[in-house]
């Protein structure tokens, strides 16, 4: 090889599936439906909390898949668990259980051991 | 009558004495445990109720009707009712008569626990008296009643369909020991008394036995064997009783006064809940009752198995069962001990959320929502958040109100704040309380005196948790029915056949069954569903269930629709946005909301709203 003084750099593309995301895997174990989301946004359009805040379940799911939970957890705290998103979701995702599960898997007190009543 | 065995003792009584002492000791300890576990306020409330004359009367009546006669079971299933009350009441009477006889003939032996039970063994009849034969007759009569009940029980165990049950509970090993010893007690008593009937006297049941096997029976050594067998059966039954479902007999005696004292379920297996769990006789009525039972895999999640798993402290299964239930309340309304199936599950969910949820809600954004000025003369209408997915409801309600000339104001024009029940059902009690507080302020500050609600779920929490001062909460079915009765809503009857679905939270939850039916009979012809009112079948869409998935809700919805359309109605009418939405997916006939139905039949109606 002739050394031109410059070369090809390896691809800078980030392959999401290769990124370790144990929290998301734990969430997926508790609520497998999370993988079904097609990011259609129906949930966001009908959201009760969305009337008053930025709350968007679609964004929550997308961000969690990307391991960027910090951005969306404060938003999730606005959810009233009313279940309208569940009624409109074309994929039949059990959104309320998903939201409840996120509250148990993620959250500031990560070290806290799970205890059962 | 005179004493035949002068020692007033025979070793065969020992198994019985052991059994009865054990069971009494165990029950006293359990009673102490339950009382200690009650909160001090509840304990005071309970103690106070025990000395309140009206509650005392109620307690006595309930003890008699529920524990002995099983009135609730009779109403539901005559065969099962007879089976249980014949055994319970018959046994009770035999014990009572045994004591009466002892008091009458040989009161000095009354302090011996076993004497009234084995009276026939220790006594002999010298000459026939009318009084004597009267007691003999009574004893044999109740023995016959019990034996008929036991026969039914044996048939039921092997052929549950004969008594009209589709499914019956699976028994544990100790349950089986208890069951077989219970079955054995009375035939053995019959034989034992038959042996002594020659000397001690008997009546139409025991004397013939004595005649048939006279030579065999008159041998004294055979007599003792028969009485030993009887005593052993009794002793075995009583010794295993605390570890079997038969613990419900003593537990119910405690449960009834506790329930009448109005104690709430506060814990998953302590105090009042403990008494309740042990009062369940595993009758299995809740298995057939549960709408989730349309899928076989859900049978294991019925209330009777919740009770069993809680008793055994099986945390994994208890949690699954607690989270899956639709909270429709059907099993509880049919349960003979009024098991608070939903309350216990809710306590479980609440404890679970308290410990494991790390993301507390933040509803500070609601501070920006300010109360509307509505004024006394107007009705405040809260459509609820779900209604924004079914706009036909709020549109129809408004049309009906206009037609009746009722001035009103919408409370949630710019998006509803949820009523809080979904949060409550998910176990987030404190968070739900924040929404309740906010809504309460908005309602009370508006100045309105009537709050009209068109969602069954909202209505229930408004009634149960809101404590609104100076505001009457009415469900639209009640309110419109009042308008009709006052002649303010001119309606025309299309004579279409309709079936009305009782939403769980409206019917079983708030006891509203008649108002919607009365109103609907003005616009169409109501046909009954297969199961309705207290027994109506949940639509399957309930926000009560946390873990039921979409695929598993569909069979429930289909089952419920099948129940509704048994008499081929042309339309299904319901009074809750959630049911409307859920049925709408799969129903073969149009599903309409109650208000929509009225709006479509307004006299002044020109063009139909669809
Ligand atoms: S449950 Fe939460 S995310 Fe879903 S619609 Fe209601 S408020 Fe929005
Ligand atoms: S409605 Fe369902 S599929 Fe669509 S974005 Fe929301 S969760 Fe995903
Ligand atoms: S919970 Fe009620 S209905 Fe169910 S088995 Fe127990 S007593 Fe019977
Ligand atoms: S409340 Fe309803 S869904 Fe839950 S166990 Fe009882 S009958 Fe089944
Ligand atoms: S009960 Fe249901 S429909 Fe009614 S306001 Fe709450 S979430 Fe909405």
Q: Does residue B397 surpass a pLDDT of 50?
A: yes
Determine, yes or no, domain membership for A87.
yes
CA of B221: how far to CAs of B197, B200, B210, B217, B224, in Å?
15, 16, 15, 9, 5
**DSSP class of A39:** -
Range of the domain at A88: 22-105
Q: What is the pLDDT of residues B236-250, one digit of tens each?
A: 999 999 999 899 999
A17 assigned to some structural domain: no
Rounded distance between C-alpha atoms, residue B524 and residue B316, angstroms:
49
| B320 in Cβ contact with B301 (< 8 Å) | yes
Taken in order B383, B387, B391, B393, the sign of the CA dihedral is: negative
Length of chain A, in residues? 117
User: Which candidate from B366, B389, B435 shows the least CB-CB separation from A52?
Assistant: B366
Cβ atoms of residues B304 and B215 within 8 Å: no
The percent of residues in chain B predicted with pLDDT above 70, rounded, is: 97
- Residues of A with Cβ-Cβ distance to B539 under 8 angstroms: none
Ligand 2 contact, A99 CB (< 6 A):
no
- Among the ranges given (B31-45, B295-309, B402-416, B453-467), the one the predictor scored with the smallest mean pLDDT: B402-416
Q: Which residue of A has its CA nearest to B417?
A: A48
- Beta bridge partners of residue B492, listed in sequence order: none
State the pLDDT confidence band at B388, using cuts at 50, 70 and 90.
confident
For residues B181 and B152, what is the distance between their CA atoms, to the nearest angstrom?
16
Distances (CA, A) of B187 to B52, B86, B148, B191, B449: 43, 15, 11, 6, 67
What's the total number of domains in chain A?
1
Of B214, B223, B199, B255, the closest CA to residue B67 belongs to B255
Chain-centroid distance of CA B171 in Å reads 21
Residue B355 contacts residue B383 (beta carbons within 8 Å): no
Average pLDDT along chain A: 84
Residue A117: its pLDDT value, please?
A: 43
Q: What's the pLDDT at B67? A: 87
Confidence grade of residue B161 (pLDDT, cut at 50, 70, 90): low
Q: Is residue B381 classed as helix, strand or coil in its secondary structure?
A: strand
Planar angle of CA B582, B586, B590, nearest 5 degrees: 90
A3 belongs to a structural domain: no
* Rounded Cα gap, residues B433 and B423, in angstroms: 9
Overall average pLDDT of the B482-498 stretch: 92
Residue B280 near ligand 3, beta carbon < 6 Å: yes
Q: Which band of pLDDT confidence, cut at 50, 70 and 90, is reported for residue B415?
A: confident
Burial B293-306 (b: 16+ CB within 10 A, else e): bbeeebbbbbbbbb
- Ligand 3 contact, B200 CB (< 6 A): no
For chains A and B, CB pairs below 8 A equal: 111
SS3 (DSSP) at B124: strand
Task: Note whether residue A14 is domain-resident.
Answer: no
DSSP characters over B247-313: GHHHHHHHHHHHHHTTPPP-SSSSTHHHHHHHH-----HHHHH-GGGGSGGGGGGSHHHHHHHHHTT
| pLDDT for the residue B166 | 66
Query: In the structure, what pLDDT confidence band is assigned to residue B162 with cuts at 50, 70 and 90?
Result: low
- Domains of chain B (ranges; CATH) run 2-31+71-244 (1.20.950), 364-482 (3.40.50), 484-600 (3.40.50)
CA atoms within 13 A on the CB side of B517: 17
CB-nearest to A117 from B348, B366, B417 is B348
CB contact under 8 Å between A96 and B422, yes or no, is yes
Q: Which atom of ligand 5 is nearest to the CA of B420?
A: 6
Q: Return the biggest CA–CA distance within chain B.
A: 96
Q: Give the three-class secondary structure for B571.
A: strand
In angstroms, the CA B449 to CA B497 distance is 36
CA dist., res. B579 & res. B505, Å (int) = 11
Rounded to the nearest 10 degrees, how much is the dihedral formed by the CA atoms of B433, B435, B437, B440? -130
Ligand 3 contact via B339 beta carbon (within 6 Å) = yes
- Above 70 in pLDDT, residue A16? no
- List, in sequence order, every beta strand (DSSP E) within B76-206: 123-124
Facing residue for A107 by CB, picked from B355, B358, B422:
B358
Residue A96 near residue B545, CB atoms below 8 Å:
no
φ, ψ of residue B455 to 5 degrees: the values are -120, 125
Cα dist from B501 to B76, B295, B576, whole Å: 21, 22, 9
Residue B207 has pLDDT above 70, yes or no: yes
Position A14 confidence tier, pLDDT thresholds 50, 70, 90: low
| Closest by CA position to B578, among listed B517, B471, B506 | B506
Tell me the CA–centroid distance for residue B59 and ligand 4, in Å.
28
CA dist., res. B125 & res. B118, Å (int)? 15
How confident is the model over B498-517, as pLDDT tens digits? Answer: 999 999 999 999 999 999 99
Interface contact flag, B549 A112, Cβ < 8 Å: no
What is the mean predicted confidence (pLDDT) over B512-524?
A: 94
Mutate-to-test residue for ligand 5 from A49, A81, A82, A95, highest number of ligand atoms within 8 A of CB? A82
Residues of A in contact with B388 (CB under 8 A): 46, 84
- Mean pLDDT value across residues A62-71: 87
Interchain contact B391–A (C-beta under 8 A) = no
**Mean of pLDDT values over B5-33:** 92
Q: How many angstroms does the Cα of residue B27 sit away from the middle of ligand 1?
A: 48
What local confidence, expressed as pLDDT, does residue B48 receive? 94
Q: How far B538 CA sits from the closest chain A CA (Å)?
A: 16
The phi and psi torsions of B379 (rounded to 5 degrees) equal: -90, 135
Contact yes or no for B38/B272 (Cβ under 8 A): yes
Nearest to A83 by CA among A67, A66, A72, A99: A99
Q: What mean pLDDT is predicted for residues A22-46? A: 92
Specify the pLDDT at position B316.
Answer: 93
- Tens of pLDDT, residues B93-104: 999 999 998 998
Residue with tokens 């507080």: B437
By CB neighbour count within 10 A (0-12 exposed, 13-18 middle, 19+ buried), where does B376 fall? exposed
Residue B480 scores a pLDDT above 90? yes
Q: Which two tokens stand for residue B448?
A: 């309105």
Tell me the C-alpha to C-alpha distance, in Å, between residue B367 and each of A48, B58, B370: 15, 47, 7
Q: Do B370 and B443 form a contact (C-beta atoms < 8 A)?
A: no
Task: Kindly report the backbone phi and psi dihedral angles of residue B473, in degrees, each rounded to the nearest multiple of 5, phi listed first.
Answer: -95, 125
For A113, which DSSP code?
P
Q: Look at residue B609 in the predicted model and tell me its pLDDT.
A: 45
Residue A110: inside a domain:
no
pLDDT of residue A11: 73
B543 and A83 in contact by Cβ < 8 A?
yes
Q: Which of A6-20, B219-233, B495-509 has the highest mean pLDDT?
A: B495-509
Please write the tens of the pLDDT for every residue from B344-370: 999 999 999 999 988 889 999 988 888
Within 8 A by CB and 6+ apart from B164, the residues are B77, B79, B80
Quick one: B560 exposed, middle or buried, by C-beta within 10 A (0-12, 13-18, 19+)? buried
Q: What is the pLDDT of residue B608?
A: 46
**Is the per-residue pLDDT at A29 higher than 50?**
yes
- Tell me what pLDDT residue A113 has: 47
CB contact under 8 A, B385 and A48: yes
pLDDT averaged over chain B? 90
CA distance A36 to chain B (A): 12
Q: Is the pLDDT of residue B219 over 80?
A: no
Note the pLDDT of residue B185.
Answer: 94
- B336 pLDDT tier (thresholds 50, 70, 90): confident
Whether A92 is in a domain gets the answer yes
Per-position b or e across B186-204, b if 16+ CB within 10 A of its CB: bbbbbbbbbbbbbbbbbbe
Residue owning the nearest CA to atom 6 of ligand 3: B280
Above 90 in pLDDT, residue B222?
no
The token pair that represents B95 in the structure block: 């014990």
Q: How far apart are CA A89 and CA A81, in angstroms?
A: 14
Alpha carbon of residue B469 to chain centroid:
32
For residue B126, pLDDT over 90 is answered with no
Identify whether A32 is part of a domain: yes
CATH of the domain at A72: 1.10.1060.10
Rounded-to-integer distance, Cα B597 and Cα B499, Å: 12
**Residue of chain B nearest A73, judged by CA positions:** B359
Is residue A82 in contact with ligand 1, taking CB distance under 6 Å?
Answer: yes
> For B433-441, which contacts have Cβ atoms below 8 Å and span 24 or more sequence positions?
B434/B361, B434/B363, B434/B366, B435/A80, B435/B363, B435/B366, B436/B461, B436/B465, B436/B466, B438/B363, B438/B366, B438/B369, B439/B466, B440/B466, B440/B467, B440/B468, B441/B371
Under an 8 A CB cutoff, do A100 and B546 touch?
A: yes
Q: Is the confidence at residue A111, as pLDDT, over 50?
A: no
Q: Which of B572, B597, B596 is nearest to B582 (CA)?
A: B572
Is the Cβ–Cβ distance between B140 and B202 less than 8 Å?
yes
Q: Is any ligand 4 atom within 6 A of the Cβ of residue B327?
A: yes
| Residues 6+ away with beta carbon under 8 Å from B148 | B86
Using a CB-CB cut-off of 8 Å, the residues of chain B touching A106 are 358-359
Q: Is the pLDDT of residue A10 over 80?
A: no
B178 C-beta neighbours (distance < 10 Å), count: 24
Mean pLDDT of B572-586: 94
Q: State whether B389 and A87 contact (CB < 8 Å).
A: yes
Examine residue A8 and state whether it is found in any structural domain, yes or no. no
Choose the weakest-confidence range: B189-203, B213-227, B397-411: B213-227
- State the pLDDT confidence band at B197, using cuts at 50, 70 and 90: confident
Residue B607 — very low, low, confident or very high, per pLDDT cuts 50/70/90? very low
Rounded distance between C-alpha atoms, residue B144 and residue B448, angstroms: 66
The total number of residues written for chain B in this structure: 610
The whole-number pLDDT of residue B72 equals 83
């Amino acid at each position: 090889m002739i050394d031109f003084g410059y070369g090809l750099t390896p691809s800078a593309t980030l392959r999401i599936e290769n990124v370790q995301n144990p929290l998301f895997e734990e969430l997926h174990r508790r609520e497998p439906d999370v993988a079904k989301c097609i990011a259609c946004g129906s949930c966001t359009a009908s959201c009760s909390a969305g009337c008053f805040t930025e709350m968007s379940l679609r964004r929550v799911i997308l961000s969690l898949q990307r391991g960027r939970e910090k951005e969306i957890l404060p938003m999730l705290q606005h959810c009233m668990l009313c279940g309208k998103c569940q009624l409109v979701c074309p994929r039949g995702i059990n959104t309320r259980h998903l939201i409840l599960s996120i509250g148990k898997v993620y959250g500031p007190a990560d070290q806290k051991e799970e205890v059962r009543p | 009558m005179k004493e035949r065995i002068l020692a007033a003792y025979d070793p065969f009584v020992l198994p019985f004495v052991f059994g009865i002492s054990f069971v009494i000791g165990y029950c006293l300890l359990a009673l102490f445990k339950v009382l200690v576990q009650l909160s001090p306020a509840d304990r005071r409330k309970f103690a106070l109720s025990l000395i309140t004359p009206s509650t005392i009367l109620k307690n006595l009546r309930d003890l008699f009707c529920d524990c002995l006669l099983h009135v609730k079971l009779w109403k539901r299933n005559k065969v099962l009712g007879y089976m249980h009350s014949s055994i319970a009441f018959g046994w009770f009477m035999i014990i009572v008569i045994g004591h009466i006889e002892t008091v009458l003939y040989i009161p000095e032996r009354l302090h011996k626990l076993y004497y009234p039970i084995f009276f026939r063994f220790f006594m002999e009849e010298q000459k026939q008296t009318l009084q004597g034969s009267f007691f003999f007759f009574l004893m044999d009569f109740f023995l016959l009643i019990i034996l008929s009940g036991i026969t039914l029980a044996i048939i039921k165990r092997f052929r549950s369909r004969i008594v009209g049950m589709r499914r019956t509970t699976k028994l544990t090993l100790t349950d089986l020991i208890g069951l077989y010893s219970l079955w054995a007690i009375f035939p053995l008593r019959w034989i034992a008394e038959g042996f002594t009937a020659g000397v001690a006297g008997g009546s139409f049941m025991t004397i013939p036995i004595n005649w048939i096997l006279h030579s065999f029976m008159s041998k004294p050594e055979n007599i003792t064997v028969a009485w030993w067998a009887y005593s052993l059966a009794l002793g075995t039954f009583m010794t295993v009783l605390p570890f079997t479902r038969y613990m419900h007999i003593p537990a119910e005696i405690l449960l009834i006064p506790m329930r009448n004292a109005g104690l709430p379920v506060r814990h998953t297996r302590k105090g009042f809940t403990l008494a309740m769990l042990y009062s369940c006789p595993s009758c299995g009525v809740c298995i057939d009752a549960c709408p989730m039972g349309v899928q076989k895999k859900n049978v294991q999640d019925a209330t009777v198995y919740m009770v069993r798993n809680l008793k055994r402290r099986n945390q994994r299964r208890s949690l699954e069962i607690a989270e899956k239930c639709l909270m429709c309340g059907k099993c509880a309304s049919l349960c003979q001990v009024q098991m608070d199936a939903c309350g216990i599950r809710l306590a479980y969910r609440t404890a679970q959320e308290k410990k494991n949820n790390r993301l507390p809600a933040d509803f500070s954004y609601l501070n920006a929502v300010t109360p509307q000025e509505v004024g006394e003369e107007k009705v405040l209408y809260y459509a609820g958040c779900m209604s924004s997915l079914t706009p036909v409801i709020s549109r129809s309600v408004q049309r009906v109100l206009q037609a009746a000339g009722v001035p009103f104001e919408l409370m949630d024009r710019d998006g509803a704040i949820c009523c809080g029940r979904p949060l409550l059902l998910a176990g987030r009690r404190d968070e739900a309380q924040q929404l309740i507080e906010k809504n309460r302020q908005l309602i009370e500050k508006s100045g309105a005196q009537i709050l009209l609600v068109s969602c069954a779920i909202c209505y229930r929490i408004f009634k149960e948790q809101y404590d609104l001062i100076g505001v009457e909460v009415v469900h639209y079915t009640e309110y419109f029915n009042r308008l009709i009765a006052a002649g303010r809503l001119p309606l025309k009857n299309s004579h279409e056949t309709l079936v009305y679905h009782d939403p769980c939270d409206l019917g079983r939850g708030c006891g509203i069954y008649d108002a919607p039916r009365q109103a609907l009979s003005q616009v169409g012809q109501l046909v009954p569903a297969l199961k309705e009112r207290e027994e109506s079948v949940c639509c399957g869409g309930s926000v009560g269930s946390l873990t039921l998935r979409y695929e598993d809700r569909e069979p429930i919805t289909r089952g419920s629709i099948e129940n509704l359309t048994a008499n081929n109605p042309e339309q299904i009418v319901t009074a809750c946005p959630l049911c409307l939405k859920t049925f709408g997916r799969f129903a073969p006939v149009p599903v309409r909301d109650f208000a929509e139905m009225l709006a479509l039949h307004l006299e002044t109606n020109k063009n139909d709203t669809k």
